[in-house]
Copies of this chain bind each other. A is one copy, B any other.
Amino acid sequence: MTDSTSQRYYALELDKKDPLKQFRHRFQLKDPRLIYLDGNSLGILPVETPSHLGNVVSEEWGRELIRSWNTGWYERSKQISEKIAKLIGAKPNEVIVTDSTSVNLFKLSYAALKLKTGRKGIVTDELNFPTDIYVLQGLVDLFQNQHHLTLVKSADGMGISLYELENSINDGTALVSLSHVLYKSSFLYNMKVVTGRVHAKGAMILWDLSHAVGAVPIDLNGCNVDFAVGCTYKYLNGGPGSPAFLYVREDLQDKIQSPVWGWFGQKNPFDFQINYEPASGIDRFLAGTPPMLSLSALNPSLDISLEAGMDALRQKSVEQSKYLIDLWRHFLDILGYTLGSPSDENQRGSHVSLKHKEAYRICKALIDENTGKFTVIPDFREPDNIRLGITPLYTRFVDLFDAVMEMKDIVENRIYEKFSSQKDKVT
């Protein structure tokens, strides 16, 4: 970074040249003092969502009532799924929006293990999101400890070497379950290479796309992926707890079953037959009635991502994460902040973790409305990570510059000392 590129006006210049800059206006950003760097945890409300959802509530539910099942609701999961399919390189009939990521992980991991009888190994990595690991631990218990779960270790606490991963897979491995982007470090697996290696060992792969979808181009079909799940309330801006999705490659769908034989996964739910026959295709992974309000809020959100296009989003995201790392090196390195994310952008998703021994109190100071010029919202992840989420739809270069200046000030002037290290319920 030079004298000129380390100035605020340079960030403003980058914003002016940003081909995606118009998309920021599609989001509700009313507080000019707010710098929101947590879109990797909960995306910002699209401007269109309140009226869209208001219509679902007052017209579809309020006026049409039960009739809406025949005039839109019954198809809504599928329509929304088709939009997600476009974002992840899948066919429309390979994706379905339903339940939570945890429940979907459970359903697909169960199905994979049932398909691969004879093989009892499950592989994941120790940096995976806890719910992904918990669900697999639960399945080991469910299958009466006939399976064994291997957690591949990380040498640097940041990522997993392909060599180590491959060494953990053998001809007894049934399933490898990985997050495409790791939630703390932002480490990005090479989906194509890893999937190929897993298949070469005769195992199946399940990718959790939660921290990748909407920020990183994904080509499930091009990589020949077996299974995937993902979350819609992060980079896809679907709203708190919006329904998750799952993907099953077309040729596998009729070979497997969900453990939860719910009526929406039945062949003809409204025939009310008393024998379960699974629907053909991806619909067999539905279970109960979908939460229509939370589901419907996905519509305007997904349209924005589709309009921007994944390649343009990724290009901006990479430029911004490189810029942020440059700022770290120039301003923060000397203050005890270390880089907790891969420096190679090909191994990095769309957030950057900076570590500091006072990370928790620094986060508190950043978020505090009466500290600094801006209210900066990152998030804290144990034990010392400050996650700075870049959402190319609305994050500006100047946001990154201003946030770094706040982080500099908080440590330089020991402002964090004013804050308690007592943890909040949700961090």
Which residues of A approach B to under 8 Å, CB–CB? 28, 30-31, 36, 38, 41-42, 44-45, 49-50, 53-54, 57-58, 60-63, 65-70, 73-74, 99-103, 106, 126, 129-131, 133-135, 137-138, 141-142, 151, 231, 233, 239-244, 257-264, 266, 269-276, 287-295, 297, 367, 377, 379, 381-382, 423-427
Contact = CB atoms under 8 A, between A and B. Distances in A.
A54 B50 contact: yes
Contact of A28 (B62, B258, B260): B62
Contacts of A295: 241
Total identical chains: 2
A36 B53 contact: no
Contact of A102 (B44, B61, B287): B287
A349 to B, nearest CB: 17
A241 to B, nearest CB: 4
Contact of A131 (B262, B292, B367): B262
A263 B293 CA distance: 23
Given A67-B367, A137-B275, A288 B102 contact: yes
Contacts of A243: 291
Contacts of A297: 57, 293
A31 B151 CA distance: 60
5 contacts: A102-B288, A138-B259, A138-B276, A151-B274, A240-B292
B68 A57 contact: no
A38 B61 CA distance: 13
A65 B152 CA distance: 34
| Residue in A44, A54, A271, A289 whose Cβ sees the most chain B Cβ within 10 Å | A289
Contacts of A45: 57-58, 61-62
Contacts of A242: 291, 293
A45 B44 CA distance: 27
B425 A70 contact: yes
B260 A135 contact: yes
B293 A239 contact: yes
B382 A271 contact: yes
B262 A425 contact: no
B274 A126 contact: yes
B137 A288 contact: no
A288 B134 contact: no
B42 A66 contact: yes
B57 A38 contact: no
B240 A99 contact: no
B241 A65 contact: no
Contact of A266 (B134, B288, B425): B134
B293 A240 contact: yes
A290 B99 CA distance: 9
A98 to B, nearest CB: 9
Q: Which 3 A-B pairs have CB atoms at the shortest separation, nearest pair first? A: A100-B288, A138-B261, A102-B262
Nearest to A45: B62
A151 B270 CA distance: 20
Nearest to A383: B272
Contact of A287 (B100, B130, B239, B273): B100
Given A50-B62, A66-B377, A106-B259, A74 B272 contact: no
A58 to B, nearest CB: 5
B294 A291 contact: yes
